[in-house]
């Protein structure tokens, strides 16, 4: 079997029974189940949700995105071998840690396959909940140019690249393009302050203003739970992005839950502890892939300047990244997954066929 055949690059054409359009993002595709199939699975599988909760099948791919583009490699490699399984397994692990620590629930109800989640529908908060423990990446680039205020928070002078911040910083940004909010540009991924959230909490999807504090508490609790576990394997939790949404519990009351993935190499920076103490950074996250693109290609402005998005998209379409770059990135994803879980990561030889078989035979979602 070719290496390319082990990669699930296209995940929005599976024959899953649905009466809605498939939503496909940069990495995941979502199939909303029919009302009848949702009710049947809730009853058959005894999911702890109201009987009329809409369910979806969420299928992760092995595609890799960076700088808002999808990249591919030589030999027809349209994704990173093992990436999807690594992301899902890491997120599953952290959600189990959250449950064991009595933290909030998440949207995942079942894991039929390493690349598949069955999830409950949630009303998303339109905020990318970002929390930082070190100054690096885009924050360092802005700080090094003289900026001192981030999302309404003032940073002191004299910080150095990659140093630990005096305290955890919550630096949220918009999720999607939000219109009609004073002082918030109509663009995706715009930094916002707590004051912005308070003044426009309903526009951001909060039910009540007090829930801003709830989301901040859940963000800090989740970060600390992951940080403490990573510390045990000498890994540093540098920063991360969480997403939150509302669901209705069996008593009919709304509650905030964790959504999407948490603590993965796609949504977080994770550094090797021993290397950091020796004075250099070893990335165990997608940041290593980003840095490779910035250093190996002679026009970093193309990847950083949003005004050159058309050129950037053409570059991503036309460039076959070296096979070794794709395989090195695979080793990063699989390696950190196995460190976190403490066991080998099981990879599929033919992920598409495996997914079809399990959703057909066990869940009767494919005719």
Q: Which domains does the chain have, with CATH numbers?
A: 3-122+341-361 (3.30.200.20), 123-277 (3.30.470.20)
pLDDT band, residue 184 (cuts 50/70/90):
confident
- What are the φ and ψ backbone dihedral angles of 308, each rounded to 5 degrees? -110, 30
The model's pTM is 0.94
- pLDDT at residue 250 in the model: 87
* Dihedral sign of CA atoms 352, 119, 258, 306 in order: positive
pLDDT, tens digit, 9 for 90 and up, residues 281-311: 999 999 999 999 999 888 999 999 989 999 9
With a pLDDT cut of 90, the percent of the chain lying above it is 90
- pLDDT at residue 1 in the model: 65
Q: What's the mean pLDDT in 132-148?
A: 94
Residues 6+ apart with CB under 8 A from 361: none
Burial, 155: exposed, middle or buried (Cβ in 10 Å; 0-12, 13-18, 19+)? Answer: middle
The DSSP symbol for 265 reads T
pLDDT, tens digit, 9 for 90 and up, residues 222-245: 999 999 999 999 999 999 999 999
pLDDT, tens digit, 9 for 90 and up, residues 76-123: 999 999 999 999 999 999 999 999 999 999 999 999 999 999 999 999
- What are the φ and ψ backbone dihedral angles of 293, each rounded to 5 degrees? -60, -40
Average pLDDT, the chain: 95
Two tokens at 308?
């050159």
pLDDT band, residue 52 (cuts 50/70/90):
very high
- pLDDT at residue 178 in the model: 85
């Amino acid at each position: 079997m070719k290496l390319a055949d082990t990669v699930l690059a296209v995940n929005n054409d599976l024959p899953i029974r649905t009466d809605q359009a498939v939503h496909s993002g940069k990495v995941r595709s979502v199939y909303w189940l029919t009302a009848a199939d949702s009710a049947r699975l809730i009853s058959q599988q005894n999911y702890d949700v109201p009987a009329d909760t809409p369910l979806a099948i969420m299928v992760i791919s092995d595609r890799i995105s960076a700088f808002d583009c999808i990249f591919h490699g030589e030999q027809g490699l349209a994704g990173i071998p093992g990436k999807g399984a690594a992301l899902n397994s890491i997120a599953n692990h952290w959600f189990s840690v959250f449950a064991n620590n009595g933290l909030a629930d998440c949207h995942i109800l079942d894991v039929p396959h390493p690349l598949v989640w069955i999830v409950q529908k949630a009303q998303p908060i339109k905020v990318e909940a970002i929390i930082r423990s070190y100054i690096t990446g885009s924050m360092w680039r802005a700080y090094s140019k003289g900026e001192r205020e981030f999302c309404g928070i003032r940073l002191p002078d004299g910080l150095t690249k990659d140093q630990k911040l005096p305290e955890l910083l919550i630096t949220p940004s918009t999720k999607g393009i939000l219109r009609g909010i004073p002082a918030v540009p109509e663009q995706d991924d715009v930094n916002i302050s707590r004051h912005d959230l308070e003044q426009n909490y309903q526009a951001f999807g909060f039910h009540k203003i007090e829930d801003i504090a709830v989301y901040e508490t859940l963000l800090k609790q989740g970060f600390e739970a992951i940080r403490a576990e990573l510390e045990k394997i000498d890994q540093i939790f540098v920063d991360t992005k969480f997403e939150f949404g509302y669901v209705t519990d069996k008593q009919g009351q709304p509650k905030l839950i964790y959504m999407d993935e948490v603590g993965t190499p796609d949504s977080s920076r994770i550094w090797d502890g021993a290397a950091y103490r020796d004075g250099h950074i070893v990335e165990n996250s997608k940041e290593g892939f980003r840095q490779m693109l910035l250093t190996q290609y002679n026009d970093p402005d193309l990847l950083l300047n949003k005004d050159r998005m058309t050129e950037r998209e053409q570059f991503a379409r036309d460039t076959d990244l070296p096979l070794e770059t794709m395989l090195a990135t695979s080793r990063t994803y699989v390696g950190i997954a196995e460190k976190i879980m403490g066991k080998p990561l099981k990879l599929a030889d033919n992920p598409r066929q495996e997914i079809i078989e399990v959703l057909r035979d066990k869940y009767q979602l494919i005719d």
